Amino acid sequence: MRNYLTNIFLNAPPQSASTFLYESLTNGLSYKNLSQPTLYGGIFPYKNIVTWSAEKTLAGGFVWQDNVEANEVNLLIMEQFFPKVILHFRDPRQCIYSWLQHFPNVMHEERARTLKKLIKLRDNFFDLPIEHQIDHLIQTRLIHYVEYYKKWLEIIDHSKYKVSFLITTYEELTKNQNQVLKKVLEFYELKQELFNFPSQCPEVGKQNYRGNSLTGWEHTFSIQQRKKAGELIPSFMKKKFNWIEY
């Protein structure tokens, strides 16, 4: 096990409980945090690592949180600065269900303007019936998640880069958060006895944590929407993560 400081890179899509995981690692290790606003250029799912930020962490002792895409430039930067990376996943149908609860709180902020244009979101979007909102997100946001996942899974299966990956999922995090944290510590060769494990899950509404639902989308999507969303997620992906068909 390592006695010197390393850097942890948590690459996770929006609405996947990554803030909880990121803050648990930061607090548990007493590391410094370097979160999204200073790390990347672009917007999910088209983000790139900012190299000068990576250079600032060469001494180690940082936890990075981001959701950069699997492109050659990002992977070459990872080779140089972050040879071990956590790839966190969550059922994209549940992600967009969570997004529906989250985005109304930030949609009028400056940082949300680009995303609204990217997914063609009108200002009155949240005044529309919920079924119309879901239809729109299936055709836009859900596809972003699926493409982001596909690219990273292709890298894992056929990588030519000198980067090691640890896969974690939201689903396993809700079952046993400490077991996921232990996997991360083992992956980075960090001593568990020096880690301060969280005593409980965060309160709903804190750390971007909106409950531990795995099935909220199932009860909200119509049968037609469930089938459409299920068709957009490749079978191999649903099988790999044990996500239901629809």
CB 10 within 8 A of CB 35: no
Q: What is the pLDDT of residue 205?
A: 46
In 94-245, beta strands by DSSP E: 164-169
Whole-angstrom distance, CA of residue 102 vs CA of residue 98: 6
In the chain, beta strands by DSSP E: 7-11, 32-34, 40-43, 46-49, 62-66, 84-89, 164-169
- Residue by residue, pLDDT tens for the chain (246 residues) are 554 589 999 999 999 988 899 999 999 999 988 665 566 788 999 999 988 888 888 889 999 988 999 999 999 999 999 999 999 999 999 999 999 988 988 888 887 899 999 999 998 999 999 999 999 999 999 999 999 999 999 999 987 999 999 999 999 999 999 999 999 999 999 999 999 999 866 554 454 444 446 678 999 999 999 999 999 999 999 999 999 999
Q: What is the pLDDT of residue 120?
A: 94
Whole-angstrom distance, CA of residue 104 vs CA of residue 163: 37
CA distances from 70 to 39, 45, 118, 130, 226 (A): 15, 9, 19, 32, 28
CB 88 within 8 A of CB 18: yes
User: Which pair of structure tokens corresponds to residue 160?
Assistant: 């030519």
Q: What's the chain's length in residues?
A: 246
Whole-angstrom distance, CA of residue 46 vs CA of residue 202: 29
CB 42 within 8 A of CB 12: no
Domain 7-241 sits in CATH 3.40.50.720: no
User: Is this model's pTM higher than 0.75 or not?
Assistant: yes
For the chain, the domains span 7-241
Taking alpha carbons only, the member of 158, 131, 146 closest to residue 44 is 146
DSSP assigned state of 202: P
- In three-state secondary structure terms, 165 is strand
Whole-angstrom distance, CA of residue 66 vs CA of residue 183: 19
